[in-house]
Structure 1
Amino acid sequence: MQFSHRVLIHKNELNESEQEIVRFIQNNPSEVVSNSIQDLATTLFIHPTTVVRLAKKLDYTGFAEMKHELRTEQQQLDKIRNQTKNNEAPKIDLSEYLANTTVEKIVSLIEKARDVHFYGIGNSQFLCEISAKQLRCTDKRSHYYQHRHDMLYSIHELKAYDLIFVISMSGESESLNDVARLVKKTGATLISLTHITPNTLSEIADINLYCYAPINYIHNYDVTNRTYAMATLYRIIEKYWQYHI
């Protein structure tokens, strides 16, 4: 699980000092992975045990594992940057990824569903909010969630005739994939929306939606373009509107 995902899951458990360490790590990952825990503690004017406590709160075994995982993430980001440097996102024909038969099938599922739920974390949350509100205008019961614990609570109320969209550009968010596995146990239909690459979430879901959304970071900040993801969802909702407005 990525460092940013761990922070998102445990953010309400972190005290002010730990939040300060997190901000430093996010802004200076290269410095963290190339120095010792003592160096980090000295830079932040804290005791090394404070760093260890943070690592364990984020479900690492300790600083050594956190440092190793951060280094791996940095290497992956460097590889992605090298692959995408100076390349613009191509013009995408949605029909290449979203056949009319798929749209009609999903619209039919929305019609039959008692409730439609949208699950996403981080920068994908706004897609969930917009989509849920766009369905509500036709009096369709639809829901989105700001926090993972609310998603988990909602799963207890799911029925086999409910419909769930799980939105994750990478498809590799462990927290969302765990949620998806719990959804599958309820018998509800699960639809994934991810970037057009093989991923774990797509393997879990009953129906796969894809869009062009390669991971992109600037100064370690996620600036992945989710425009095509929104367009994919809008095409489905727009078709649903045609039958219900």
Structure 2
Amino acid sequence: MQDSFYNHVKSGEKNLNDLEGKILRYIVSLRGDIEQATSKGIAAHFYVAPNTIVRLAHKLGFTGFTELKHSYLLSLERNRYTIETIPLDLQIIQTKDLVHDITINKVVDAIEHAGHIVFFCSGFSKYPCLEMAEKLKIMGKNTDTLSERHVMRHYAELLGPDDLVFSVSISGETEVSIDATSIAKSRGSKIVTMTGISKNSLSKLADIPLFTVEKQVRFGNMDLDSRLMFHYVFEMIFERFFERTQQAEMES
């Protein structure tokens, strides 16, 4: 049996540079549309030569783009309805290993000093953000949660150095989140990102990047990925913030 597309990606991704990683994520995002895609068309999308796409395929262990495309199409057919079998306990352990105690303290410092906290999110990622925002609001912080494309961009243009932005996305490649976060960063806002563990464009914008172990769930073309680890990391952050707040009140 031939190795699956994702086995090739797992073994070869470490050999990719940043641009090749971005091209690979774009190819994966095409899903069924990959059938009509060509190496020349993908190269034109990224303003590179077609042999860049061929080199990417070689680094992943394919003979060329045609074999890569065929492997991906087979993978899509096999996995139209899938759920990764990562045990919940393992997700928590691995995510906890990714989010160091020092990092949690840095995020809590940022929350304490922020005059205003904004959450940029979309899809199911908005639910852990809404919960965290409401908890912080109860604790006296001024918070907003934004998930609509045009509102996020407009709001970002109004932010400044006194604002803290949490930008949350499983893939870290959600265009609207990258766009709004880039604007907020250019205006001096502090940026905390929360994404899956893979290299991604959003985390590169962060003052404090947070990574979680994601669990993929697919129903056809629908993204039903678990956001449970987002809830988990937000809970760790909130508990630390709550403890500090209580200690400060006792000392005052």
CA contact (8 A) 1:171 1:202 kept: yes
Q: Where do 1:24-173 residues align within 5 Å?
A: 75=73, 78=76, 81=79, 87-89=85-87, 90-93=90-93, 94-173=95-174
In 2, Cα distance between the equivalents of 1:107 and 1:88? 29
State yes or no: 1:177 paired with 2:178: yes
Q: Which amino acid aligns with 1:110?
A: I
In 2, Cα distance between the equivalents of 1:155 and 1:235? 26
Per-residue Cα deviation, 1:185-229 (whole angstroms, up to 9, x for no partner) = 111111110011111111121211011114431222211011111
Q: Using the TM superposition, give the Cα deviation of residue 158 of structure 1 relative to its aligned residue in structure 2, in angstroms.
A: 1.1
**Alignment CA distance shift 1:190-1:77 (3 Å):** farther
Number of residues paired by the alignment? 179
In 2, Cα distance between the equivalents of 1:178 and 1:140? 25
**Alignment CA distance shift 1:229-1:85 (3 Å):** closer
Q: Using the TM superposition, give the Cα deviation of residue 98 of structure 1 relative to its aligned residue in structure 2, in angstroms.
A: 1.1
In 2, Cα distance between the equivalents of 1:129 and 1:138? 14
Q: Which amino acid aligns with 2:86?
A: E
CA contact (8 A) 2:156 2:181 kept: no
Q: What does residue 208 of structure 1 align with?
A: 209
Aligned partner of residue 170 in structure 1, secondary structure = coil
Q: What does residue 52 of structure 2 align with?
A: none
Q: Where do 1:222-241 residues align within 5 Å?
A: 222-241=223-242
In 1, Cα distance between the equivalents of 2:182 and 2:84? 38
Q: Using the TM superposition, give the Cα deviation of residue 34 of structure 1 relative to its aligned residue in structure 2, in angstroms.
A: 7.5
In 2, Cα distance between the equivalents of 1:231 and 1:131? 11
State yes or no: 1:244 paired with 2:245: yes
**Alignment CA distance shift 1:215-1:177 (3 Å):** farther
**Alignment CA distance shift 1:237-1:195 (3 Å):** same
Q: Using the TM superposition, give the Cα deviation of residue 85 of structure 1 relative to its aligned residue in structure 2, in angstroms.
A: 6.6
Q: Using the TM superposition, give the Cα deviation of residue 127 of structure 1 relative to its aligned residue in structure 2, in angstroms.
A: 1.7
Using the aligned pairs only, state the percent identity.
25
What TM-score comes out, normalization by structure 1 length?
0.65
RMSD: 2.9
CA contact (8 A) 1:118 1:167 kept: yes
**Alignment CA distance shift 1:86-1:159 (3 Å):** closer
CA contact (8 A) 1:80 1:215 kept: no
In 2, Cα distance between the equivalents of 1:243 and 1:226? 26
Q: What does residue 22 of structure 1 align with?
A: none
Q: Using the TM superposition, give the Cα deviation of residue 103 of structure 1 relative to its aligned residue in structure 2, in angstroms.
A: 0.8
Aligned partner of residue 200 in structure 1, secondary structure = coil
What TM-score comes out, normalization by structure 2 length?
0.63
Q: Which amino acid aligns with 1:103?
A: I
CA contact (8 A) 1:106 1:236 kept: yes
In 2, Cα distance between the equivalents of 1:151 and 1:137? 23
Q: What does residue 196 of structure 2 align with?
A: 195
Q: Using the TM superposition, give the Cα deviation of residue 86 of structure 1 relative to its aligned residue in structure 2, in angstroms.
A: 6.3
User: Which moves more between the two structures, 231-240 or 86-95?
Assistant: 86-95
Q: Which amino acid aligns with 1:212?
A: V
In 1, Cα distance between the equivalents of 2:177 and 2:225? 18
CA contact (8 A) 1:212 1:229 kept: no
